[in-house]
Amino acid sequence: MQALTNRAKPVDRRPMTFFEKLYLPAIAKGMGITFKHIFRKKATVNYPEETRPFSPVFRGLHILNRDEEGRERCTACGLCAVACPAEAITMEAAERLPGEEHLYREEKYAARYEINMLRCIFCGFCEEACPKQAIYMTETFAPANYQRKGFIYGKDDLLIPDPKNPITVNK
């Protein structure tokens, strides 16, 4: 069989010489390698105090955005749900009632908006599909949870706080 690359090394099956059979030189070599590693730069970080820098294209947890007046941008068009390859997004639409103009930007809004973070593959298609710039991906992870239902993020979890009225949102 022809080798695919020229990097393959044949296994040396010659019987060991006396020097090799002593093992001590090989052990000393190995000890040298491990000793060098003591002074290497550590591969880990002190996590809660120090986080790894994310790459600019990192796709983490989703948020639902508001416009500059603090109104929800999402109009429950369902394009994100259609774009989602993992079928993680579900939503229910509702019509905006008179007097709710300060809450919702469009005439239709999402009464229920859920993302199942166990299904989500963080591909970012929802972000691309959204015509209203309502859904964005952030630089955080989904934290651990004891139950599956804890991973189904509703609107309370996703919606960013209202800059004007921070108390009423997120209950």
Residues 29-58 touching another protein, rule: CB under 8 A, are 30-31, 33-35, 37-38, 40-44, 46
Whichever of 20 and 128 has its CB closer to another protein, that residue is 20
**Residue environment code for 77-97, b if the CB has 16+ CB neighbours within 10 A, otherwise e:** bebbbebbeeebbebeeeebe
Q: How far is the CB of 16 from another protein (least distance, A)?
A: 14
- Contacts of 72 by beta carbon, 8 Å cutoff, 6+ apart: 64, 66, 103, 104, 105, 109, 110, 134, 159
| 6 near another protein (CB under 8 A) | no
* Residue 110 marked as a ligand binder: no
Among 16, 20, 25, 27, binds another protein (CB under 8 A): 27
Q: How far is the CB of 23 from another protein (least distance, A)?
A: 9
Is residue 155 within 8 Å of residue 113, measured between CB atoms? yes
**Residue of 89, 125, 95, 120 lying closest to 110 (CA atoms):** 95
Residues annotated within a binding site for [4Fe-4S] cluster: 74, 77, 80, 84, 120, 123, 126, 130
Which residues in this chain contact another protein in the complex, by CB under 8 A? 27, 30-31, 33-35, 37-38, 40-44, 46
